[in-house]
């Protein structure tokens, strides 16, 4: 057993104090889930055990080569699972969702999102990761977000950002998130993050990363969290162990071994501009197929070769990597190595969390490289990414990178029904001429009409089901006001 596993962690008295404080703050939160699905015209019983639902007459893009695509097809669901996909299905006992003129496809998957920062949306539109001489006096992520604002989060601030961010991404068709929650200032903060993820009602992977302050119990609180919240893998929420390679005074191998002891996948940021290439080279012998490397900017050929050799996973946050000076997004490097990446949002303080932005950014950047090489006469110019390629990054690859592809990522009989219906008759899409192309190059969140998670409808005909958005907005606005005041940062709507 590793040394960190033996750590005593919080005392019983301190843990009970944190838990009581967290419970009190959570009890004070208003109820955001209101009303009934039936009141919104949703057929009753969808997603319940034994109940059948037929999604009828849509343009079905399964993302499973063995299933294929259907210009007009039906998807039959029983309870939480997909039962059948075919051009036409007879199911007279099923509730029916009419999908004519809609693209029916698997929900999008975001493999890296600091969701606790939802209250800080757009605060850092012009920032980069850390202060540099060429940007003297300008705001940066490490100094302002993690250095000033993150330390003043209370458990209730964590909760509302997790909840609001989760529901917002559901609205955009993202049915699964890997929440990289670097906000574990106490056990109460950790529990608030998990509760926010759970209350949003979508599939999530809780990434247990670092926190700050005297009450922080990272990493040793991982065992309690695993036992209390993630003892079963047969639930919407699962867990990864944060295994950062840049934390001062922490050997990442201790974190990795703790994750292995707890039978958890290990995820970490791998950022060249933070000087991590040498550290990753030192860690090369320990790479396994249970690692998710986020960014992979500026890494050595040896690190890439080892990543491919062991089957480790790579998540790219292309817009943020370009915007915040992580280093050039290594999308072509990953493709050259035969590594199909997943896509991730990273931080909403700087960039939107919708999947369409991620797909278009990845596709246009790679094609810019490849097209320029071709124009310059390169005999080995890279193959151009297609719309279907980046759709695979955003669905099936995301499921693989979160170790969930046995459950989701494609419309496959036996998998759970995480499904989105996208309006292909809308002004920004019609007339529909190519389904993958329309989704990637034309659509945005307003085209996300209906969303199901494990067969349960979360968004119905353009409206979130059973969610009091106004109450949520008031609560996250109040949280934002507290955070800026506590951090001593002036709220300025204009630069």
* CB 421 within 8 Å of CB 57: no
**Residue 487 class from Cβ within 10 Å (0-12 exposed, 13-18 middle, 19+ buried)?**
middle
Residue 278, H or E segment = helix 277-283
Query: What pLDDT, on the 0 to 100 scale, is given for residue 6?
Result: 35
Alpha helices in 311-425 (DSSP H): 318-323, 331-336, 355-375, 387-394, 396-401
Among 113, 13, 12, 85, which residue's Cα sits nearest to residue 411?
Answer: 85
Query: What pLDDT, on the 0 to 100 scale, is given for residue 136?
Result: 82
Strand 237-242 to 95-98 pairing: unpaired
Residue 81: HSE in the Cβ half-sphere, 13 Å Cα cutoff:
9
Query: What pLDDT, on the 0 to 100 scale, is given for residue 23?
Result: 47
**Residue 333 class from Cβ within 10 Å (0-12 exposed, 13-18 middle, 19+ buried)?**
middle
| β partners of residue 293 | 268, 314
* CB 57 within 8 Å of CB 43: no
Q: Which two tokens stand for residue 350?
A: 């700087």
**Residue 232 class from Cβ within 10 Å (0-12 exposed, 13-18 middle, 19+ buried)?**
exposed
Name, in order, each residue with C-beta under 8 angstroms of 30's C-beta and a sequence gap of 6 or more.
468, 471, 475
How would you write the pLDDT of the chain (495 residues) with one tens digit per residue? Answer: 333 333 334 433 443 444 444 444 444 444 455 544 444 678 777 877 889 999 999 999 999 999 999 999 999 999 999 999 999 999 999 999 999 999 999 999 999 999 999 999 999 999 999 998 888 888 999 999 999 999 999 999 999 999 999 999 999 999 999 999 999 999 999 999 999 999 999 999 999 999 999 999 999 999 999 999 999 888 999 999 999 998 888 999 999 999 999 999 999 999 999 999 999 999 999 999 999 999 999 999 999 999 999 999 999 999 999 999 999 999 999 999 999 999 999 999 999 999 999 999 999 999 999 999 999 999 999 999 999 999 999 999 999 999 999 999 999 999 999 999 999 999 999 999 999 999 999 999 999 999 999 999 999 999 999 999 999 999 999 999 999 999 999 988 997
CA distance 70 to 478: 47
CA distance 358 to 112: 12
Q: Which two tokens stand for residue 84?
A: 């059948």
CA distance 68 to 122: 40
- 465-481 burial code (b ≥16 CB/10 A, e <16): bbbbeeebeebbeebbe
Q: What pTM, to 2 d.p., does this model score?
A: 0.93
Query: What pLDDT, on the 0 to 100 scale, is given for residue 41?
Result: 77
Query: What pLDDT, on the 0 to 100 scale, is given for residue 94?
Result: 95
In degrees and rounded to multiples of 5, residue 220 shows phi and psi of -70, -20
| In the block, residue with structure tokens 């057929």 | 43
Query: What pLDDT, on the 0 to 100 scale, is given for residue 46?
Result: 81
Taken in order of first residue, the domains within the chain and their CATH numbers are 38-106+415-464 (2.30.40.10), 108-401 (3.20.20.140)
């Amino acid at each position: 057993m590793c040394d960190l596993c033996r750590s005593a962690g919080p005392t019983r008295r301190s843990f009970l104090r944190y838990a009581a404080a967290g419970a009190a703050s959570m009890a004070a939160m208003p109820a955001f889930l209101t009303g009934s699905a039936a009141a919104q015209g949703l057929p009753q019983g969808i997603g319940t055990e034994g109940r059948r639902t037929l999604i009828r007459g849509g343009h079905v893009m399964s993302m499973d080569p063995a299933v294929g695509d259907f210009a007009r097809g039906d998807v039959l669901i029983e309870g939480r699972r997909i039962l059948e996909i075919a051009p036409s299905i007879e199911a007279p006992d099923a509730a029916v969702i009419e999908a004519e003129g809609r693209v029916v496809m698997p929900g999008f998957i975001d493999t890296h999102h600091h969701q606790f920062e939802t209250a800080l949306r757009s605060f850092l539109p012009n920032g980069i990761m850390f202060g540099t001489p060429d940007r003297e006096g300008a705001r940066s992520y490490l100094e302002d977000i993690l250095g000033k604002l993150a330390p003043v989060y209370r458990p209730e601030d964590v909760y509302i950002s997790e909840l609001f961010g989760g529901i917002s991404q559901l609205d955009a068709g993202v049915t699964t998130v890997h929440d990289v929650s670097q906000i574990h200032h106490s056990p109460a903060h950790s529990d608030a993050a998990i509760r926010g993820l759970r209350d949003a009602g979508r599939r999530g992977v809780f990434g247990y990363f670092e926190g700050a302050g005297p009450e922080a119990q990272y990493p040793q609180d991982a065992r309690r969290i695993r036992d209390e919240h993630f003892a079963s893998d047969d639930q919407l929420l699962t867990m990864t162990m944060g295994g950062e390679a840049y934390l001062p005074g922490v050997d990442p191998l201790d974190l990795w071994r703790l994750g292995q002891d707890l039978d958890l996948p290990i995820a970490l940021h791998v950022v060249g501009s933070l000087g991590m290439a040498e550290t990753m080279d030192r860690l090369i012998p320990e790479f396994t197929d249970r690692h998710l490397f986020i960014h992979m900017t500026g890494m050595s050929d040896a690190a890439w070769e080892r990543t491919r050799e062991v089957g480790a996973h790579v998540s790219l946050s292309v817009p943020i990597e370009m915007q915040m000076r992580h280093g050039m997004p290594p999308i072509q490097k990953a493709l050259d190595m035969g590594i199909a990446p997943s896509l991730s949002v990273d931080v909403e303080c700087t960039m939107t969390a919708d999947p369409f932005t991620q797909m278009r950014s990845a596709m246009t950047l790679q094609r810019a490289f490849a097209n320029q090489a071709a124009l310059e006469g390169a005999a080995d110019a890279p193959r151009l990414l297609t719309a279907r390629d980046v759709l695979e990054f955003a669905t099936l690859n995301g499921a693989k990178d979160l170790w969930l592809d046995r459950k989701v990522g494609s419309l496959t009989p036996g998998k759970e029904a995480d499904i989105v219906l996208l309006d292909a008759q809308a002004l920004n899409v019609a007339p529909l001429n190519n389904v993958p192309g329309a989704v990637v190059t034309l659509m945005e969140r307003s085209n996300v009409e209906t969303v199901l998670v494990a067969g349960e409808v979360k968004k119905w005909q353009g409206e979130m089901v059973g969610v009091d958005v106004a109450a949520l907005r008031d609560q996250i606005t109040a949280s934002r006001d507290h955070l800026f005041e506590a951090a001593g940062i002036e709220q300025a709507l204009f630069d």
